[in-house]
């Protein structure tokens, strides 16, 4: 089998910098990564790795920074064409922009066109895995998986279930949500690098019967992830209270139907009660931080302190989020941290966008880390991609000082190489 050897600076994590500090980071100024058959075979300092693989094809990337491909833990690919829509808060934003666009995804051709555009945009930003919501239409799931599969990507999605408080043409039923989700799961889950995710949009758009049906489906397929939204905006929380008067809190509207556990992913999770935090901690459910979205839609400031005791992923939340780039998302995460008294270290930001998100998606043993045996999803970051960044990075004395200007000011221009499953694209 052909071996390919990449030379450059190499940065990855052997642990979690939120819990272990900078000890968790592994950096080689002159590093090398050996790829064989889609997997990483060897990683380390170039002067030991290179002689150990004398027949490998060598690609020298100079002082570019080789990182694991970014992992975006919560997106809505069907909202690609309505990103950056002006002036609304959550419920009005869904009704004005999102729902009319999502009604179009029953058309397989349109769904394929947007899925293809979405993957092109995110790959150009260095994102090699996304966990997406689809729409209520099974066609939207098929289009996403087909486009991901043709690119060799590891990707996750599920049919977004809604049987109330959504317009005509965008509602399923409890039974059809169960049947369609089950059929899609049986077709796609575990095929190539694809995973099916059971996906009630959020409790305001699912009746108790639908939540019950999806809880039952999850109990039948406990190896699947379950994703939904939790406590994004205060108005939304009030609405949930009025729809579920007997529930203890927002989380309980999922918990009472079996939609809670270690493999649950809760997007946003900003305004949590002490009981909710205690339950999430006990079950070790994953939270997904969507900082550009939380600011763009005016939702609030996520407490990154949760990363000390819970799995936390990072996400663009396209198109409620205002950018496809995980660099821009790390910058927003830094800014939100500052407003809540946490100055996130560049190591923590990069970990959130790679291994942290992978761990939140229960893929921490497959992607998000540059180590032997991991899937070879790799990016090369240009740490001097614009004159403004280059002049600041030129003064850097450590790798962290060198990479932070790219985190704060970088975009798709900083991505100078992307490898998916070992192949350069």
Binding site for Zn ion (CB under 5 A): 267, 317
Q: How many CA atoms lie within 13 A of 9 on its CB side?
A: 14
In the complex with Zn ion, which residue's Cβ is closer, 4 or 127? 127
For residues 292, 298, 300, 302, the Cα torsion angle rounded to the nearest 10 degrees is -20
How far is Cα 70 from Cα 215, in angstroms, rounded to an integer? Answer: 30
CB of 388 to Zn ion, least distance (A): 32
Least Å from the CB of residue 70 to Zn ion: 18
**8 A C-beta contact, residue 7 and residue 32:** yes
Q: How far is the CB of 172 from Zn ion (least distance, A)?
A: 18
The CA-atom distances, in angstroms, between 126 and each of 153, 325, 418 are 12, 8, 6
Q: Which is nearer to Zn ion, 74 or 137 (CB)?
A: 74
- Which of 93/404 has CB closer to Zn ion? 93
Nearest CB to Zn ion, comparing residues 98 and 142: 98
28 or 271: CB nearest Zn ion: 271
State the CB neighbour count (10 A cutoff) for residue 249.
Answer: 19
By beta-carbon proximity to Zn ion, the closer residue of 172 and 317 is 317
- Tokens 């995110």 sit at which residue? 122
Output the smallest distance, CB 74 to Zn ion, in A: 6
Closest approach of Zn ion to the CB of residue 385, in Å: 29
Length of the chain: 425
User: Do you find a cis peptide bond into 367, omega within 30 degrees of 0?
Assistant: no
Q: Map residue 195 onto helix, strand or coil.
A: strand
Cβ neighbour number for residue 232 with a 10 Å cutoff: 26
409 SS3 class = helix
Task: Please report which helix (H) or strand (E) contains residue 5, including its range.
Answer: strand 3-13
Residue closer to Zn ion (CB basis): 7 or 251: 251
Q: How far is the CB of 147 from Zn ion (least distance, A)?
A: 20
CB of 11 to Zn ion, least distance (A): 29
């Amino acid at each position: 089998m052909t071996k390919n050897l990449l030379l450059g600076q190499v940065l990855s994590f052997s642990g979690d910098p939120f819990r272990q500090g900078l000890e968790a980071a592994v950096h080689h100024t002159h590093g090398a990564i050996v790829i064989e058959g889609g997997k990483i075979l060897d990683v380390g300092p170039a002067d030991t790795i290179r002689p150990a693989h004398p027949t490998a094809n060598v690609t020298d990337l100079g002082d570019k920074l080789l990182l694991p491909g970014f992992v975006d833990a919560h997106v809505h690919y069907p909202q690609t064409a309505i990103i950056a829509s002006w002036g609304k808060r959550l419920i009005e934003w869904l009704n004005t922009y999102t729902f009319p666009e999502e009604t179009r995804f029953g058309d397989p051709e349109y769904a394929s066109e947007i899925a293809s555009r979405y993957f092109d945009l995110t790959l150009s930003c260095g994102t090699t895995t996304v966990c997406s919501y689809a729409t209520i239409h099974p066609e939207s799931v098929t289009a996403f998986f087909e486009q991901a599969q043709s690119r060799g990507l590891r990707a996750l999605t599920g049919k977004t279930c809604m049987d109330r408080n959504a317009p005509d043409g965008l509602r399923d039923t409890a039974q059809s949500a169960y049947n369609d989700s089950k059929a899609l799961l049986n077709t796609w889950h575990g095929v190539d690098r694809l995973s099916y995710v059971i996906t009630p949009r959020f409790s305001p758009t699912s009746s108790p019967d639908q939540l019950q049906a999806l809880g039952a489906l999850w109990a039948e397929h406990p190896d699947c992830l379950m994703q939904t939204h939790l406590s994004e905006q205060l108005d939304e929380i009030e609405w949930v209270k009025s729809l579920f008067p007997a529930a203890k809190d927002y989380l309980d509207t999922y918990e009472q139907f079996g939609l809670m556990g270690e493999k649950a992913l809760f997007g946003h999770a900003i305004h949590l009660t002490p009981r909710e935090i205690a339950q999430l901690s006990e079950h070790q459910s994953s939270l997904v931080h969507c900082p550009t979205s939380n600011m763009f839609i005016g939702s609030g400031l996520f407490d990154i302190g949760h990363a000390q005791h819970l799995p936390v992923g990072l996400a663009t939340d396209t198109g409620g989020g205002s950018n496809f780039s995980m660099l821009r998302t790390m910058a927003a995460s830094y800014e939100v941290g500052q407003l809540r008294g946490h100055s996130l270290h560049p190591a923590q930001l990069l970990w959130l966008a790679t291994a942290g998100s992978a761990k939140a998606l229960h893929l921490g043993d497959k992607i998000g880390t540059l180590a032997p045996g991991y899937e070879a999803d790799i990016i090369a970051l240009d740490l001097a991609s614009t004159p403004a960044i280059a002049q600041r990075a030129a003064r850097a004395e450590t790798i962290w000082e060198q990479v932070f200007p790219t985190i704060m000011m970088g975009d798709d221009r900083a991505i100078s190489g992307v490898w998916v499953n070992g192949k350069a694209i």
